[in-house]
């Protein structure tokens, strides 16, 4: 059976006045039915570009898919017409963004927006759609749901609005949900509640999920497997336990070092990998992580490492992947 989602060697270029810049570079990932894939990487790595590419929502121009395929149950979404893609959005693939207000219309009530989302894909009369809207608000645990149907987004808190957005995203029971930093804009307690809600929905519906975040702590909590992205490429992929127990890419090691464990006093301290992700215009010919890597050697500057297979479902794009246990990189990011 085909994977729920398979991105194969995706290339996204940005056509700018400064020339053609490659934002996504032969990037691949897969998500199985019912599985949560964590997609992690620092700001500017290309996570949102990837999610927009899946949804057919890339800003064209400047962006354009110039290579590869995005297969949803074997069907290449990059080949679909706009109208076919519109039918896929919402009905088969749902998306939640960081800021709930970017998905909600301030001039319509929550109920009207939900009913609209439902009727867009299902032939239901208004009454039946309104009943379903109410059920959905219950499903995302919005208290006093009947009254909230008549509320406008500005009358609700950020956490409540994100619940409404989740209700809209799952209104048509999509097979795949893309959650692009869905909790980053919320405070910590609300974050945990929203993550719990997404896990619950996923358990009940066997929906596949791509959960995008720069927070490995969240990944440990939600993901079955993880793809680590760096500068538009895959740095490492592994089942979630393997990634934390036996990371093979110095970048992954750095990210893990930068993740405070619960109760860790570093929670209150910002720990980061020194340096930043190179901008699109200054991506080097060799390994993009070379200028920040504690294990860098000459070859890294001239040649980009290919993915090295480690074990079933585990690969890392580093020349030293096989020797990582022997390398002292405990200090990366510490």
Ligand X SMILES: Nc1ncnc2c1ncn2[C@@H]1O[C@H](COP(=O)(O)OP(=O)(O)OP(=O)(O)O)[C@@H](O)[C@H]1O
CB of 230 to Mg ion, least distance (A): 14
CB of 176 to ligand X, least distance (A): 18
Instruction: Pick one of ligand X, Mg ion, none as the site partner of residue 49 (Cβ within 5 to 8 A by kind).
Output: ligand X
| CB closer to Mg ion out of 43 and 83 | 43
| CB closer to ligand X out of 30 and 48 | 48
| CB closer to ligand X out of 23 and 72 | 23
Instruction: Pick one of Mg ion, ligand X, none as the site partner of residue 46 (Cβ within 5 to 8 A by kind).
Output: ligand X
CB of 161 to Mg ion, least distance (A): 19
117 to 176, contacts with Mg ion by CB under 5 A?
A: none
15 to 54, contacts with Mg ion by CB under 5 A?
A: 47-48
| CB closer to Mg ion out of 35 and 181 | 181
Residues making contact with ligand X (CB under 6 A): 14, 23, 41, 43-49, 59, 62, 214, 279-280
| CB closer to ligand X out of 65 and 201 | 65
Tell me the residue nearest to Mg ion as measured from the CB: 48
Q: Where are the beta strands (DSSP E) in the chain?
A: 5-16, 19-31, 36-40, 63-72, 75-76, 93-96, 176-180, 208-213, 225-230, 233-239, 308-311, 314-316
The two three-digit tokens of residue 98, written as one number:
């960081």
| CB closer to ligand X out of 228 and 280 | 280
Report how far residue 108's alpha carbon sits from residue 237's, in angstroms, rounded to the nearest whole number: 42
Nearest Cα neighbor of 53 from 14, 12, 98, 85 is 12
Q: What is the pairing mode between strands 308-311 and 314-316?
A: antiparallel
Instruction: Pick one of Mg ion, ligand X, none as the site partner of residue 252 (Cβ within 5 to 8 A by kind).
Output: none
Nearest Cα neighbor of 25 from 215, 235, 260, 326 is 235
Nearest Cα neighbor of 142 from 154, 130, 150, 134 is 134
Instruction: Pick one of Mg ion, ligand X, none as the site partner of residue 10 (Cβ within 5 to 8 A by kind).
Output: none
Say if residues 37 and 27 touch (Cβ distance below 8 Å). Answer: no
The Cβ-side half-sphere exposure at 239, using a 13 Å CA radius, reads 6
CB of 283 to ligand X, least distance (A): 9
CB of 60 to ligand X, least distance (A): 10
- In the numeric block, the tokens 């076919």 are attached to 84
CB of 47 to ligand X, least distance (A): 3
Report how far residue 210's alpha carbon sits from residue 38's, in angstroms, rounded to the nearest whole number: 6
CB of 196 to ligand X, least distance (A): 23
| CB closer to ligand X out of 279 and 313 | 279
The two three-digit tokens of residue 38, written as one number:
């964590």
Q: What share of the chain is helix, strand, coil (3-state, %, to 5)?
A: 40, 25, 40
Binding-site ranges for Mg ion (CB under 5 A): 47-48
């Amino acid at each position: 059976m085909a994977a729920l989602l398979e991105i194969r060697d995706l290339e996204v270029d940005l056509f700018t006045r400064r020339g053609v810049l490659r934002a996504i570079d032969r990037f691949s990932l897969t998500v199985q039915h019912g599985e949560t894939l964590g997609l992690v990487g620092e700001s500017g790595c290309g996570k949102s570009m990837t999610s927009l590419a899946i949804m057919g929502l890339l800003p064209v121009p400047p962006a354009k898919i110039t290579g590869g395929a995005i297969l949803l149950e074997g069907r290449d979404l990059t080949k679909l017409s706009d109208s076919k893609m519109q039918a896929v959005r919402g009905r088969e693939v749902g998306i939640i963004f960081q800021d709930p207000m970017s998905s909600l219309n301030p001039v319509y009530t929550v109920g009207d927006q939900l009913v609209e989302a439902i009727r867009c894909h299902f032939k239901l009369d208004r009454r039946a759609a309104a009943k379903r809207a109410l059920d959905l608000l219950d499903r995302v645990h919005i208290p006093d749901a009947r009254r909230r149907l008549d509320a406008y987004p500005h009358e609700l808190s950020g956490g409540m609005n994100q619940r409404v957005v989740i209700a809209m995203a799952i209104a048509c029971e999509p097979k795949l949900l893309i959650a692009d930093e869905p909790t980053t804009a919320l405070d910590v307690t609300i974050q945990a509640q929203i993550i719990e809600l997404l896990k619950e929905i996923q358990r009940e519906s066997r929906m596949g999920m791509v959960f995008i975040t720069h927070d490995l702590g969240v990944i440990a909590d939600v993901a079955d497997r993880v793809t680590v992205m760096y500068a538009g490429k895959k740095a490492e992929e592994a089942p979630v336990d393997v990634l934390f127990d036996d990371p093979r890419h110095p970048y992954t090691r750095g990210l893990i070092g930068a993740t405070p464990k619960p109760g860790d006093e570093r929670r209150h301290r910002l720990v980061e990998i020194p340096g930043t992700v190179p901008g699109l215009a200054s991506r080097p010919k060799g390994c993009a992580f070379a200028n920040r890597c504690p294990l860098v050697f000459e070859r890294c500057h001239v040649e980009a490492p290919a993915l090295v297979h480690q074990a079933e479902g585990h690969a890392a794009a580093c020349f030293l992947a096989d020797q990582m246990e022997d390398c002292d990189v405990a200090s990366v990011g510490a």
